[in-house]
Amino acid sequence: MKRNRKIKIVATLGPASSTYEMIRALHEAGADVFRLNMSHGSHDEIQEKHKIIRQVEKDLDSPIAILADLQGPKLRVGTFADGPQNLEWGENFRLDLDKTPGDHSRVCLPHPEIFAALEPGSHLLVNDGKIRLRVEDCGKDHANCTVVTGGVISDRKGVNVPDVELPLAALSEKDRRDLEFVCNLGVDWLALSFVQRARDVWEARELADGRAAILSKIEKPQAVANFQEILEVSDGIMVARGDLGVELPVQNVPPIQKRLVRKCRAAAKPVIVATQMLESMIESPMPTRAEVSDVSNAIYEGSDAVMLSAESAAGDYPIEAVTTMNAVAEEVEADPTYREIIEASRRAERHSVADGIVAAAREIAETTDIKAICCFTSSGTTAAKVSRERPRVPIITMTSSRETARRLVLSWGTHCVMTGDLERFKQAVVNAARATRKAGIADEGDQIVVTAGVPFNIPGTTNILRVAPCDERLIYSTDPE
């Protein structure tokens, strides 16, 4: 399914988008990747959504990527004996391990690992940061705090600890069970919550054992501080601005977003910008102007994908939300300023023959009348490098691996096509010409750039670049075997 844009759209599935008809409509409206939120729904429900997505993929003959988002460890307070309590500025409030229901002066925080990491002066944020507590003194089983920002606290509200690196694994026991389930199911990407350091990613990678690509969610200050090492061991990144905006001052999030997107682009790894992109469309058929500007900003930065959460999962207007995001993307990418920004922010990365070939492919496409860059890829690495170049022309990625095709759906600008096993480069060029014509990107009188590695189906062997006609008769009369 050919899109009139390069950036991809990730849509979260939920109660508002769980039927075949709705999922197909979302894909036709512009959703390229479907996110399964493992925080909600049973394994049976997740399996049913996965089955429907694969049926839509088959019916429309269009590769679709599935992203399973693991919940991560959830830090929450206990319960209160007399219902919600109003905490006011300057009051004292204690957190401890006592499971007795709380009152106005204390509540249980059943996470001894938090107390082990706290220091006087640390802050605790409750209920998405609406309540802020400053630790005055603490021990292995308690923290005596002063209320810095008051508010209503109630049963099982979430707790964030922004000031310290917690001695917690990114994967809870639930996450481990979920990971094994979705990997056996056949998802393409795993999103890791609560990543703080590179070893969190390695743990998930070892458990996944190649069955899914690993995408790290950057939602904690520690992940920002350790970003380069996290990026190196991840296959992709999600800038999860929700929790990031809770644990850091909100004004810090936009520059962090820009820095992380550029680092991902330089590393040729896909990056998703997520959270509250069209939040008002949960209840309204129209977004706010500020939301449209926010989505546009992520597109101008060169992000690989933008994501809808509750808008498509539980909102009243899921199709309208996808349609709006698609329309914004098409309009921004048609703006001449978009190309100026993308090209000005391109960072040269030349470390291998493949790097040189994909850079040459982009330069040839931009200086002559080339309709598309067609790259044959086994593992997806070459296609990711072409995507990093952010060329002006479409990228046709051709592979015999359905798993590779699905994972590449997340990458900027890619139009993924399945092809059979190849033995000769001439056949690769013919297949590229056919795929480009079938997608409506080129006609017989046009030219394309074809890159491939010979021998075929060996990762990391990209070593050929060919400017070829889209007319098969010309290919057979001019191409060597």
Instruction: Show which residues are catalytic.
Output: 35, 76, 217, 275
Q: Half-sphere exposure of residue 454, counting CA atoms within 13 Å on the CB side?
A: 14
Cα 271 versus chain centre, distance: 5
d(CA 205, CA 84): 41
Q: Give the per-residue SS3 of 200-268.
A: HHHHHHHHHCCCCEEEEEECCHHHHHCHHHHHHHCCEEEEEHHHHHHHCCHHHHHHHHHHHHHHHHHCC
Which residues, including other chains, have CB under 8 Å from residue 45's CB and lie 6 or more apart?
18
d(CA 449, CA 465): 7
Which residues, including other chains, have CB under 8 Å from residue 249's CB and lie 6 or more apart?
none
CB-based contact 79:102 (threshold 8 Å): yes
d(CA 144, CA 264): 41
Q: How far is CA 110 from CA 114, 140, 161, 273, 373, in A?
A: 9, 12, 14, 32, 55
Angular region, 194: left φ>0, alpha ψ -120 to 50, beta rest: left
Cα 272 versus chain centre, distance: 4
Q: Which residues pair with 396 in a beta bridge?
A: 374, 415
